[in-house]
Chains A and B, each alone.
Chain A
Amino acid sequence: MGQIQLKKVTKSFGSTEVIPPLDLTIEDGEFTVFVGPSGCGKSTLLRLIAGLEDITTGHIEIDGQDATSVVPAKRGLAMVFQSYALYPHMSVRKNIAFPLRMAKLSQTAIDQKVEAAASVLNLTDYLDRRPGQLSGGQRQRVAIGRAIVREPSAFLFDEPLSNLDAALRVGMRLEISELHERLKTTMVYVTHDQVEAMTMADKIVVLQAGVIEQVGTPLELYRTPRNIFVAGFIGSPKMNFMTGSEAAKHSAHTIGIRPEHINVVESGGDWQGTVGVAEHLGSDTFFHIHNTGLAETLTVRAIGDVSLKHGDTIHLSPRVDDIHRFDAAGLRIS
């Protein structure tokens, strides 16, 4: 079990309110990702759930039990920190065994659980090393191992991949997703990287300035963003926004269209402009287009390697069905 409910939770540091009243339910077994720009309060929210920060008002319930004033250790949650927070003077074995020792388990039970966790995470060969002798990815796995052995009702991850290089990050992303498939335990994951959110989450919570902008599955957020902020935040490269006459044509204050929903055509097309930077990735090409008269730059994603260069004129035709319309307050018009 691992259902977490936040009821009218607020958090203030001194007189600054970081999180205005917030309601959220994280269902048992769900992989929930908190995503948002830095300083949006997503880490604070995670620390409130963990109990490392006291909430100012409101209630937190874990499995239906009020956990608002329960100490962190007794909430049955395990946390993986951004810096991994491994104990540098202990071997990997002792690191993983630490929560079990604190729970006063017998030595045989501890050994058994540590071995099991190590084999799950491919750490068996490193058990007697110190954290300082491990690579970033291995340290990350030790931190996860330390969380797993406690058999928590939910895992909390605080930007766990941000200290890894790009290749390792993709690998660890898969490992964490696989771990979730295997354990079926509730996981709450904080990140500022929307790609991590999209790839891993069952449910994404988009936060801005402590306010939940939208909650939904990755594809819901991609297809029907509730407002301009979510539309701009989810999806890579970013959605293009236009105001003025082009928006008026679709009877909206602002319209948005994703780079992948604009087709590059030989000639004609609704829009045209000059190619600024062209990023050739092989599988796709991203064009940054100027002088369209629509927006300062327009980003377009073309499938495959399209051989247009800097300074070339490009003809574009947007897919009208995929245009998102927003009103003056930035909310979606359905």
Chain B
Amino acid sequence: MATKASRSAARIMMAPAVVLLLGWMLVPLIMTLWFSFTKYLPLRGDSIERGLDWVGFSNYVRFISSSSFWPAVHTTLIMVGGVLLITVVLGILLAMLLDQPFWGQGVVRILVIAPFFVMPTVSALVWKNMIMDPVNGIFAHLWRFFGAEPVAWLQDASLSSIIMIVSWQWLPFATLILLTAIQSLDSEQVEAAEMDGAPSLKRFWHIVLPHLARAITIVILIQTIFLLSIFAEIFVTTGGAFGTRTLTYLIFQRVIDSQNIGLGSAGGVYAIILANIVAIFLMRIVGKNLDA
């Protein structure tokens, strides 16, 4: 990339990708913005060909004043926060465990990654029918074995159950990134701390954890992006009932169940705003770790 010619050649060659990506993002975004200001009820005969009625901010007002809006935001934040907490904490512990030399290390590491390859729909169904089912699930058998009343997980502890399912899916990702980070820790640093009189817990706190800060940041940022849009796990388990309706799911219900595209689009714009607020907070809290 040294000469003028090679720079402009590079620009020309990058152009298709840039244009495609921009189109991919901008077209849906603009359409969502447009729909959110119109009355668009396909079942009542509204369509783009016939022209949509401009209704101003009424969709926004209606979406935010709905009794399900704030609970949905609340649920979203709890779900994202819960999964992040579980995956990061367990991820660090698992990564440290996998970093120890033991027999069958290679096989175990592959097995640990396995849940990440299972599709969200499939894993949610497996958890729902084989593990959490109050009659035939493994948990139910376990509870009965100890003489306890089986728990109807997805009814009585619905939000926690979904957090558990999603955490199970994302734990491998966190573990893997944190494991590679732990492996890059200079063993002499740990030994120096040992010589300096730091017992193992303090070595973890003062040496290992600061070393992992950057990796933890990356795990949190990437997971947040994906966790804000969790859908399949809710759809196949509770269908948004029992207090598991996140903002994403609420938008889905407005668009598909109520067939109100205008209202759903307004919700989509709120979701964008929420995602940005979360992103700003995250960057404030953990983003400074990314500076070298």
Interface residues of A (CB under 8 A from B): 50, 52, 71-74, 77-79, 81-83, 85-90, 98-99, 102-103, 132, 146, 150
Contacts and interface: CB of A to CB of B under 8 A. Distances in A.
Contact of B186 (A50, A78, A85): A85
Closest 9 CB pairs of A and B: A73-B197, A99-B196, A85-B192, A85-B188, A102-B197, A89-B210, A81-B188, A85-B189, A102-B198
Contacts of B186: 83, 85
Interface in B176-214: 186, 188-189, 191-199, 202, 206-207, 210-211, 213
Interface string B204-229: 00110011010000000000000000
A71 to B, nearest CB: 8
12 contacts: A52-B191, A71-B194, A79-B195, A81-B191, A87-B193, A87-B206, A89-B213, A99-B195, A99-B196, A99-B197, A103-B197, A150-B196
A110 to B, nearest CB: 13
Contacts of B197: 73-74, 99, 102-103
A85 B211 contact: no
Contacts of A72: 191, 194-195
B207 A87 contact: yes
Nearest to A77: B195
Contacts, number: 59
A246 B18 CA distance: 80
B194 A73 contact: yes
Among the interface residues A71, A78, A81, A90, which one has the most CB atoms of the partner chain B within 10 A?
Answer: A81
A268 to B, nearest CB: 58
Contacts of A88: 211
Contacts of B195: 50, 52, 72-73, 77-79, 99
A85 B206 contact: no
A88 B211 CA distance: 8
Contacts of B210: 87, 89-90
A77 B195 CA distance: 8
Contact of B196 (A71, A89, A102): A102
B188 A146 contact: no
Contacts of B199: 73
Contacts of A87: 189, 192-193, 206-207, 210
Contacts of A86: 189
A82 B206 contact: no
A52 B193 CA distance: 11
Nearest to B194: A72
A150 B196 CA distance: 8
Interface in B85-141: none
A71 B195 CA distance: 9
A90 B198 CA distance: 15
Contacts of A78: 195
Contacts of B213: 89
B192 A81 contact: yes
Nearest to B190: A85
Contact of A98 (B191, B206, B211): B206
A103 B196 CA distance: 8
Nearest to A156: B195
Nearest to A132: B292
Nearest to A158: B188
Contacts of A150: 196
Nearest to B292: A132
Given A52-B194, A79-B192, A87-B193, 7 more contacts: A73-B198, A78-B195, A79-B195, A85-B186, A85-B189, A87-B192, A102-B198
B22 to A, nearest CB: 38
Contacts of B202: 102
A148 to B, nearest CB: 12
Nearest to B196: A99
Contacts of B191: 52, 72, 79, 81, 85
A50 B210 CA distance: 25
A150 B198 CA distance: 13
Among the interface residues A82, A85, A103, which one has the most CB atoms of the partner chain B within 10 A?
Answer: A85
Contacts of B193: 87, 98
Given A87-B206, A89-B211, A82 B188 contact: yes
A99 B210 CA distance: 17
Contacts of B188: 81-83, 85
B89 to A, nearest CB: 20
A50 B188 CA distance: 13
A90 B202 CA distance: 15
A163 B292 CA distance: 23
